[in-house]
């Protein structure tokens, strides 16, 4: 049985996704930001832009934890627990840094053998990791959406939870297995976001339409892909302070979302694909000012995100890197669109590696690629794992660091520079 985070389901490219509406060009709420905000000032400590945080989901028989790679390359384990004297959660899912705060999302429900952490959403000082606010799972309920036939007035989240991004303390967007939500940490108010879900079974169930892996924040807006069974493949835009999509670009090519990247000040790239194993994939570039497709390329490669909640693609320089669930890395040139399969065989650098733990993550500034692998991948087994770091600045990726047995089933790797864009 695989880890709780990775449901035992067919490995679709993008898994869950949310739906949308509003195409009114006269509505000022539908207009994208004209400029990006000023970048935040560089912070020190664990928020240092040259450091890296690794979110370890851990096996079900242990708490989740954070591993830190210092700017000097040293490895520190269990950094949150050492600061606070407790674990942040069980079943860690995702984290995000904004305005000097670190937001850590964990499932933290139905805890195996009482390994309960501080909460489902923990807000900590990003520099020191000192805990500041905690929200328990049972506190995070939302009003029943209009159209739902559920008999309860307030509904619980559906585990495992998935992804989180933050615009400000009143606009924390995170997802579960059915929808996207907007949370106000100053009041504790949680609302489901319209157009991120579809009613199934004539209103008896809420079904996801948005693929939140790789959500992109630009100013007061969030961009994510969507589609799947309930809706056509699409790009969704959500705005600070609103509980519904402000713009939707429907009917994109491809069946599932692999990931979304910002490729320009006013440009988004959506990577789509077929079901796992399909080699028919697309890269679609959208101008955010005109809300139109400006370029579209079909490639013959499987770029699926598989069952992971990290994006299936990682952008570094002129290349997109991907694993598609395998213990190897391939890439596509954004200049020539040439596909280079299996340019990195992870088992050569980690001979015991049998399983990919999460999709490859890129540091676009250093052009480093981070890949986590392990010899086991079961919820009741603590594995031996490797975090492999490759320098992709040259023609051929070069291994620069092999971190052995310092992580436990990583579900996310975060070069802190990504939060200073």
Q: What is the pLDDT of residues 365-412, one digit of tens each?
A: 999 999 999 998 777 778 789 999 999 999 999 999 999 999 999 999
If you average pLDDT over every residue of the chain, what do you get?
89
**Bigger pLDDT: 200 vs 332:** 332
The CA distance from 159 to 228, in Å, is 19
- pLDDT tens sequence across 199-222: 988 778 899 999 999 899 999 999
DSSP letter, residue 193:
P
> Would you identify the CATH topology of the domain 28-420?
Methylamine Dehydrogenase; Chain H (2.130.10)
Q: Which of 181, 176, 179 is nearest to 191 (CA)?
A: 181
**Bigger pLDDT: 59 vs 241:** 241
Q: Which of 73, 74, 5, 109 is nearest to 408 (CA)?
A: 5
Q: If pLDDT is split at 50, 70 and 90, which confidence band does 254 have?
A: very high
Q: Which of 77-86, 103-112, 340-349 shows the lowest per-residue confidence on average (mean pLDDT)? A: 103-112
What is the dihedral sign for C-alpha 199, 201, 206, 210? negative
Among all chains, which residue has been given the structure tokens 């520079």?
Answer: 417
What average pLDDT does this structure show over 65-70?
A: 98
Strands 210-218 and 221-226, how do they pair?
Answer: antiparallel
What backbone torsions phi and psi does residue 30 show, to the nearest 5 degrees? Answer: -90, 0
Which percentage of the chain shows pLDDT scores above 90? 79
The CA distance from 355 to 378, in Å, is 10
Among all chains, which residue has been given the structure tokens 């339409």?
Answer: 209
What backbone torsions phi and psi does residue 84 show, to the nearest 5 degrees? Answer: -105, -15
H/E segment holding residue 83: helix 79-84
Q: If pLDDT is split at 50, 70 and 90, which confidence band does 21 have?
A: very low
Q: What is the pLDDT of residue 114?
A: 65
H/E segment holding residue 346: helix 346-349
pLDDT above 50: residue 1 = no
Q: What is the pLDDT of residue 31?
A: 47
Q: What is the pLDDT of residue 24?
A: 35
Q: What is the pLDDT of residue 111?
A: 61
3-state secondary structure of 47: helix
Domain boundaries, the chain: 28-420
Q: What is the pLDDT of residue 112?
A: 58
What average pLDDT does this structure show over 107-116?
A: 70
- pLDDT tens sequence across 336-359: 999 999 999 999 999 999 999 999
The CA distance from 400 to 339, in Å, is 24
3-state secondary structure of 219: coil
pLDDT above 70: residue 230 = yes
Q: Of the ranges 22-36, 106-120, 171-185, 266-280, which is most confident?
A: 171-185
- pLDDT tens sequence across 299-321: 999 999 998 999 999 999 899 99
Q: What is the pLDDT of residue 219?
A: 95
Q: What is the pLDDT of residue 73?
A: 95
Q: Which of 26-35, 86-95, 276-285 shows the lowest per-residue confidence on average (mean pLDDT)? A: 26-35
Q: Which of 120, 127, 113 is nearest to 174 (CA)?
A: 120
pTM of the model: 0.90
Q: Of the ranges 1-15, 32-46, 193-207, 321-335, which is most confident?
A: 321-335
334, with CB counted inside 10 A (0-12, 13-18, 19+), is middle
What backbone torsions phi and psi does residue 15 show, to the nearest 5 degrees? Answer: 55, -125
What average pLDDT does this structure show over 242-267?
A: 96
Q: What is the pLDDT of residue 6?
A: 42
Q: What is the pLDDT of residue 18?
A: 32
């Amino acid at each position: 049985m695989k880890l709780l985070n990775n449901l035992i389901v067919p490995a679709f490219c993008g898994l869950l996704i949310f739906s949308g509406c509003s195409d009114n060009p006269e509505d000022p709420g539908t207009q994208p930001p004209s400029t990006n905000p000023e970048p935040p000032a560089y912070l020190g400590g664990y928020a240092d832009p040259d450091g890296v945080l690794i979110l370890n989901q851990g096996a079900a028989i242990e708490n989740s934890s954070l591993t830190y790679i210092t700017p000097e390359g040293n490895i520190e384990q269990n950094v949150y627990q050492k600061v606070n004297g407790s674990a942040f959660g069980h079943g860690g899912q995702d984290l995000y840094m904004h305005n000097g705060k670190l937001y850590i999302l964990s499932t933290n429900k139905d805890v195996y053998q009482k390994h309960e952490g501080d909460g489902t959403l923990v807000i900590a000082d990003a520099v020191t990791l000192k805990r500041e606010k905690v929200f328990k799972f049972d506190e995070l309920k939302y009003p029943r959406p209009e159209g739902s036939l559920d008999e309860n007035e307030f509904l619980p989240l559906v585990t495992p939870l998935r992804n989180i991004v933050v615009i400000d303390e009143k606009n924390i967007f995170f997802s579960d297995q059915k929808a996207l939500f907007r949370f106000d940490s100053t009041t504790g108010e949680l609302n489901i976001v319209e157009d991120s879900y579809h009613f199934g079974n004539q209103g008896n169930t809420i079904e996801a339409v948005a693929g939140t892996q790789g959500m992109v924040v630009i100013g007061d807006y969030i961009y994510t892909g969507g589609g799947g069974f309930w809706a056509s493949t699409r790009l969704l835009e959500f705005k600070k302070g609103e509980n519904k999509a402000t713009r939707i670009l429907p009917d994109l090519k491809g069946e599932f979302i692999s990931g979304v990247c910002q490729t320009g000040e006013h440009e988004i790239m959506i990577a789509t694909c077929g079901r796992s194993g399909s080699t028919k994939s697309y890269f679609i570039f959208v101008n955010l000012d005109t809300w139109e497709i400006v370029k579209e390329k079909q490639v013959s490669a499987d770029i699926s995100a598989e069952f992971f909640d990290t994006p299936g693609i990682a952008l570094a320089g002129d290349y997109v890197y991907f694993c598609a669930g395998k213990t190897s890395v391939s890439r596509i040139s954004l200049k020539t669109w040439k596909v280079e399969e299996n340019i990195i065989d992870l088992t050569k650098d980690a001979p015991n590696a049998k399983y990919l733990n999460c999709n490859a993550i890129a540091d676009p500034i250093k052009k480093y690629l981070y890949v986590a692998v392990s010899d086991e991948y079961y919820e009741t087994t603590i594995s031996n794992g490797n975090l492999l770091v490759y320098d992709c600045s040259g023609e051929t990726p070069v291994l620069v660091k092999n971190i052995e047995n310092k992580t436990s089933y990583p579900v996310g790797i975060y070069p802190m520079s990504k939060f200073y864009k």
